[in-house]
Structure 1
Amino acid sequence: MSAVELAKTLDMPREQWLKLRKKGIGGSDAAAIIGLDRYRSPFDVYADKLGLKPEIPDNEAMRQGRDLEQYVAERFMEATGKKVRRRNAMLQHPEYPFMIADIDRWVVGENAGLECKTTSVLSKYKFSQGEFPPNYYVQCMHYMAVTGAERWYLAVLVLNKAFHVFTIERDEAEIQALIAAEKDFWESHVMKQIPPAPDGSEATSELIKQLFPEARERAEVALFGYEDKIQQYLTLDAQVRELEQERDKIKQELQLAMADAEIGRAQGYIVEWKNQIRQTLDTQRLKKEQAEIYTKYLKPAQTVRMFKIKEVS
């Protein structure tokens, strides 16, 4: 391994490990930086490294992923006959110190590593046909860049369904492109504390809500110079409404053609309009007839910021 050992992680408290991750770009950050992570954005990574966003609270998926890591590693050894070991260290690229890696396992006797993944049965990727999320691939490329490995193995446990092993060979051209992207991100944004441009992703929208959850009452800010952006927003918003209406018009035509049929067939298409039973709670009646119970289970009020634009003369 050509990587530098930044810190030993054996028995390191999770809070300390989370702080250590902010010292550079890790494998789980790499795909977000280049726009290949559906759950995170470049803005999200930027805010995380500068400590601007709250830490994500531990959830069941995260807990199971950690707890099942050893099981996935054992299944990999069973399936391949290879041996793996823990590295127990935060690693750092010898030339680009902002590139860090906390790898799952190192493969004994090979210049290779192993990434262990646990995913839901609801995953849209067809692992049995060789498909896996692009962020998995980028993460493995990042680890190869940091460690100098020739290949990286990816072991994926699809809960209650299957177990798959993939081999990702080192691609020098892609690794150099990834290094360049991470270098630009770190030097142009994190080091200079200049946020990357918004990308329109849901991840960025959610982060902005977290950063600015409440407005200061009656506080104003000058947006002179943003007139073109505001007009562009209003134009696009109108276009979206027109497209939604056109889409709904076609939907109505199809529904009229199907009438009370559940399934419609066309050349290359199947259209479904199925029954669904939904039950809703009559909150108004509950509030009126069982006010005490209604109040007891009422969730605390939350502040929601509504965004709208009004034209003024």
Structure 2
Amino acid sequence: MQATSTNQMTKKEWLLERRKGIGGSDVATILGFNKYNSPYQLWLDKTGQIDIDDTDVSEAAHFGNILEEVVAKEFTERTGKRVRRANKIFRHAEYPFLNANIDRDIVGEDAILECKTASTYLSDRWEGEEIPEQYICQVQHYMNVLDKQYAYIAVLIGGQKFVWKKIERDQELIDIIQDRLVEFWEVNVKQGIAPAIDGSDATEEYIKERYANSEAGKEITLNKAFDDLIAKRAELNGTKKIVEESLKEIDNQLKSELGEQNAEIGITPSYLISWKPIETTRINTKKIKKEAPELFEQYSSTSKSRRLSIKEIK
């Protein structure tokens, strides 16, 4: 196993080094567990098609970095196990593009510690033996790269609840993860073959931002494959309409039953149904524009986006 020290690296140098391989935070994206990023976006990054973003991180990531030390110290307090920073990017012995940047080593044990913070709203994902799937995959990846038999994960939930767990090596899962990561690197990155563009919100937002501008009036010719794609879209839209109408039919049956008895809550053997009034306040922009145009101009803003529309050629 090889390792590169990160002690003297700037943030941009560290990000450039990460681009040379697949790290722990990339695993969930490649496996489809990351709702904030997609394999397509990651491929663009790893192939250098987008600029390195070394700007300030999000608030959540910022405080996650700060609280990492707090979580590590609390783990030591509760378990008696001493930990230390590694400050290295570790590389897999057989596949050096598989990397691990671990949070802490466990002193005196052949194990590592991964430190996390989580929102109170996600506390149920840490109940009992539960661990979010993206973190299980990340830690198993680390155990694979560093050839460890077990690891610990500690999390501070909502700033007031601390949980730590031991994770045993799962070789079957590691093999599945490794095969997928190796395929992504060898096929998608090295051969420059883009992963399929998926339907995730992350991909939609990225395409919207990346291709926000266009050359006015420019036309291109698309091949027959796009006719097939549009036909499939039309078929799915038909199915979507049937599903939506079926859902509305069920909702209307439930509302009708509650309405007949002037009730807001219904209880079945398995479910609690609620149909309560909700007050919503909206600004009447049409009225403001008509009666106070200067005020409307002062506080309104114009956004620009591209709208996709499809019309059959007859």
Q: TM over 0.5: same fold? A: yes
Q: Report the counterpart of residue 32 of structure 2 in structure 1.
A: 35
SS at match of 1:117: strand
User: CA-to-partner distance for each residue in 1:206-262, whole Å, 9 max, x for gaps?
Assistant: 222232222322222322222221101111012102211221122112111111422
Distance 1:245 1:48 in 2: 41
How many Å separate the matches in 2 of 1:275 and 1:12? 57
| Number of matched pairs | 309
Provide closer, same or farther for how the CA distance between residues 258 and 124 of structure 1 changes in structure 2, counting only shifts above 3 A: farther
1:250 aligns with 2:250: yes
The structure-2 alpha-carbon separation of the partners of 1:51 and 1:288, relative to structure 1 and needing over 3 Å to count, comes to farther
Shift of 1:11: 5.1
2:310 matched residue in structure 1: 309
Corresponding position: 1:97 with 2:129:
no
SS where residue 164 of structure 1 aligns?
A: strand
Once residues 272 and 149 of structure 2 are traced to their aligned partners in structure 1, the CA distance between those partners, rounded to angstroms, is 45
Q: Secondary structure of the equivalent of 2:192? A: coil
Aligned to 2:63: 64
| Cα separation, 2, equivalents of 1:261 and 1:208 | 46
Sequence identity (%)? 37
Structure 1 residues without counterparts, runs of 5 or longer:
none
Deviation, 1:165, is: 0.7
Provide the secondary structure at the position in 2 that maps to 1:122.
Answer: helix
Once structures 1 and 2 are overlaid, which stretch shifts more, 207-216 or 179-188? 207-216
Corresponding position of 1:241: 241
Distance 2:274 2:160 in 1: 27
How many angstroms does 1:161 deviate by?
Answer: 4.2
Shift of 1:124: 6.3
Q: What TM-score, normalized to structure 1?
A: 0.92
After superposing on structure 2, the runs of 4+ consecutive aligned residues of structure 1 that deviate more than 6 Å are: none
Aligned residue for 1:63, secondary structure, equals helix
The one-character-per-residue Cα deviations of 1:144-185 (angstroms, maximum 9, x if unpaired) are: 111111212111111144111111111222222222211110
Name the SS for the 2:148 alignment partner: coil
Aligned equivalents of 1:312 and 1:224: distance in 2? 14
Asked if the contact 1:125–1:133 (Cα under 8 Å) also holds between the matched residues in 2, the reply is no
Return the alpha-carbon distance in structure 2 between the equivalents of residues 195 and 57 of structure 1. 28
Distance (whole Å) between structure 1 residues aligned to residue 56 and residue 241 of structure 2: 37
Unpaired stretches in structure 2, ≥5 consecutive residues:
none
Alignment of 1:74-153 (within 5 A): 74-123=73-122, 125-153=124-152
Structure 1 position 17, deviation (Å)? 1.7
User: Structure 1 residues 163, 124: closer, same or farther in 2, change over 3 A?
Assistant: closer
Aligned pair partner of 1:22 in 15, 19, 41: 19
Provide the C-alpha distance between the structure 2 equivalents of 1:24 and 1:120, rounded to a whole number of angstroms: 30
Matched with 1:12 is 9
Does 177-186 or 279-288 show the bigger shift? 279-288
- Maintained 8 Å contact 1:53/1:207: no
Q: 2:44 aligns with which of 42, 47, 65?
A: 47
- State yes or no: 1:218 paired with 2:214: no
Mapped to 1, the partners of 2:86 and 2:43 lie a distance apart of 27
Q: 1:118/1:192 Cα in 2 relative to 1: closer, same or farther (>3 Å)?
A: same
Partner amino acid, structure 2, of 1:243: V
Alignment-mate amino acid for residue 229 of structure 1: L
Match of 2:270 in 1: 268
Aligned counterparts of 1:76 and 1:181: Cα–Cα separation in 2: 32
* Residue 194 in structure 1 maps to residue 225 in structure 2: no
Question: In the alignment, is the contact (CA less than 8 A) between 2:125 and 2:132 conserved in 1?
Answer: no
Query: Is the CA contact 2:86–2:104 (under 8 Å) kept in the aligned structure 1?
Result: yes
Answer whether contact 2:126 2:132 (CA < 8 A) is retained.
no
Structural RMSD (CA): 1.9
